Structure 1
Amino acid sequence: MHEQEIETLIARRGALWLALSTLWLEREPREADYARMIREIDASELTLKQLEWIYRLEMSPVMARYQLSMAGEWRAFDETVLLTRLVHHNRRLGPVRKSVCSLFSGLTTMMSRPRFDQLIMRLMVSRGERPPG
């Protein structure tokens, strides 16, 4: 991937990735965090299905490593390091890697899934859609 492609990927996904990274923080997301995530999702014009795949394939394989690390407490991410890791992962996300990430996504999303589900509920309400019930 050339520098221009990297810049395009960061321009297209960077703000969304940074907003969604809150789902993996040690602390629970605040109302302001959910509001920021919803703003970025709406700005990206993503469907719920597209958002699910971004969460499962683009982010979770990278973000789960933070949760599994023995580094101790963490309350925020170094945005440059985080974006670098996400770009590196996404550069290699071809058909085979997508299949593997999809296969193991239950494990990589396990700890953040309740927060993601809460985000989806809030997003649906903000869009005037009826949450599943």
Structure 2
Amino acid sequence: MNSTELENRKPIWIALSKFYLDNELTCKDFDHMAIIFQKSGLHIKDIKQIDLMKVFPLLQPNLLNISGAWTDFDEDWLLSECIKHYQKRENRFYRLNYKFWNALFYWIRRDGWNQIEQRIINT
């Protein structure tokens, strides 16, 4: 991943991390996320792939943790770990593993994605 691509992904990774905080997202949160996704120039399908392959495998366990993060994740840690997950994307076991867990836990973010898609479609 070159530095330009990395700089373009950072806001997306940070915005996606909101799905995995142990609290309810507000309309303001969804508005902000939709703006970031639109500014990225990426199609929503591509952003969902970024979520699936990099952010979900890293942060989904927070939703199952009784004392999970409530406000924000440390950005330096988040970005460093997302880069590590990006580098594993071609590993077959890694892909099967996150797809399995996503099948079990997509329901947690389904409504959030619906909120984001509605905002993007209506702009």
TM > 0.5:
yes
Please provide the CA RMSD for this pair.
2.2
Q: Distance in 2 between matches of 1:40 and 1:74?
A: 21
Question: Where in structure 1 do 4 or more consecutive aligned residues deviate above 6 Å?
Answer: none
What residue number does 1:117 align with? 114
Distance 2:19 2:83 in 1: 18
Q: Which has the larger radius of gyration?
A: 1
1:12 matches 2:4: no
Separation in structure 2 between the aligned mates of residue 43 and residue 7 of structure 1, nearest angstrom: 18
SS of the counterpart of 1:50?
A: helix
Q: Which runs of 5+ in 2 are unaligned?
A: none
Deviates more, 1:104-113 or 1:40-49: 104-113
Equivalent in the alignment of 1:38 = 34
Q: CA deviation at 1:107?
A: 2.1
Taking structure 2 as the reference length, what is the TM-score of the superposition? Answer: 0.81
Q: Matched residues, percent identical?
A: 23
Counterpart amino acid of residue 111 in structure 1: I
CA gap of 1:108–1:80, structure 2 versus 1, over 3 A, is: farther
| Residue of structure 2 equivalent to 1:29 | 25
Number of aligned positions between the proteins: 122
CA distance in 1, matches of 2:114, 2:59: 17
